[in-house]
């Protein structure tokens, strides 16, 4: 029987062909002979308690000038699908949450959804590190500007970021002598109306912000160290960082062992941990990336490992 797999993602015509991890997943689905059903968020709807989608059959190719082909629209009940991949990029906003409600209705009928919709809602990629305080640098999550000023005075050098963005958007390094500190706090909290996170600055960022991929709680043996560009703080590929593959260290493996079982228990099949130095800084669950870079540099096939894990759960 042919497996029917749905993918919910941003517009496929706008992806970065050479780097996109979702495209690698779709190639693997095609290699296994699975039928791929393509959805964007606006294609989904609920009628009388059932989840539906206006979908198109998707074919994918290893061709940088023609990497996809879509068939004509058809409406299906999501319960017809064996698997759904939730690969919509942040921002994590109300529209994203509504989408998880829809795919959770499909999950209730027996369709396997990765990552699990409830866990996508429960686990904010920046906030959830606070569940593992022994693995993290000193961290403050607040909308209280006076607490942020006190934290800066205590730590001397901090990194501030919003909890809902991705790709290094609105990430600031703030030092005790920075005359713009109050402006940054006011901007990120929108004058105390929104939460933000502050963490002690980790100097090892110069050696890279490591992305470690977990499949069903177990790590891929190599991490991608994203080394900031000259004059940059952010270790994000979207911000110009260079990705260099590195074998996992003993400390990396210990960190994965501490975090992995909890993520597995929450139905998070594919997760990206961000590690700077020996510290966990983010737990990425919405649409982790870096598959393509690690595959190319380390002669891996990460999506084969991922889809082997999916097949065990179907």
Query: Would you name the residues annotated as active-site residues?
Result: 126, 161, 211, 226, 234, 274, 282, 284
CB 288 within 8 A of CB 273: no
CB 76 within 8 A of CB 37: yes
Helix-strand-coil percent breakdown of the chain, rounded to 5? 35, 30, 35
β-pairing, 4-9 vs 35-39, is parallel
**Residues 6 or more apart in contact with residue 202 via CB below 8 angstroms:** 137, 159, 276, 277, 279, 281
- Roughly what angle, to the nearest 10 degrees, separates helices 145-155 and 181-189? 140
Q: What are phi and psi of 251, to 5 degrees?
A: -65, -40
CB 244 within 8 A of CB 225: yes
Alpha-carbon distance of 130 to 282, in angstroms, equals: 9
């Amino acid at each position: 029987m042919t497996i029917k797999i749905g993918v919910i993602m941003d517009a496929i015509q706008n992806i970065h062909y050479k780097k996109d991890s979702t495209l690698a997943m779709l190639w693997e689905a095609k290699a296994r002979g699975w039928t791929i059903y393509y959805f964007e968020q606006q294609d989904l709807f609920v009628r009388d308690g059932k989840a539906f989608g206006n979908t198109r059959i998707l074919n994918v190719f290893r061709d940088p000038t023609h990497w996809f082909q879509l068939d004509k629209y058809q409406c299906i009940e999501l319960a017809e699908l064996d698997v759904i991949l939730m690969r919509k990029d942040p921002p994590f906003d109300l529209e994203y949450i509504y989408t998880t409600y829809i795919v959770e209705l499909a999950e209730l009928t027996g369709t396997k959804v990765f990552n699990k919709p409830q866990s996508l809602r429960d686990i904010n990629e920046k906030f959830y590190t606070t569940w593992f305080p022994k693995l993290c640098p000193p961290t403050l999550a607040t909308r209280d500007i006076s607490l942020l000023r006190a934290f800066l005075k205590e730590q001397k050098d901090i990194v501030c970021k919003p909890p809902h963005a991705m790709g290094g958007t609105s990430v600031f390094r703030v030092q005790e002598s920075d005359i713009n500190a109050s402006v940054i706090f006011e901007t990120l909290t929108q004058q105390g109306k929104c939460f933000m996170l502050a963490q002690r600055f980790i100097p090892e960022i110069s050696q890279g912000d490591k992305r470690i991929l977990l499949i069903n709680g177990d790590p891929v043996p190599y991490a991608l160290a994203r080394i900031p560009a000259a004059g940059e703080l952010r270790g994000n590929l979207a911000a110009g960082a260079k990705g260099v593959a590195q074998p996992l260290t003993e400390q990396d493996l210990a960190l994965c062992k501490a975090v992995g079982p909890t993520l597995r228990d929450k139905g998070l099949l594919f997760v990206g941990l961000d590690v700077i130095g020996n510290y966990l800084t983010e737990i990425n669950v919405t649409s982790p990336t870096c598959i393509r870079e690690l595959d190319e540099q380390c002669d891996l096939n990460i999506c084969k490992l991922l889809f082997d894990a999916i097949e065990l759960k179907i």
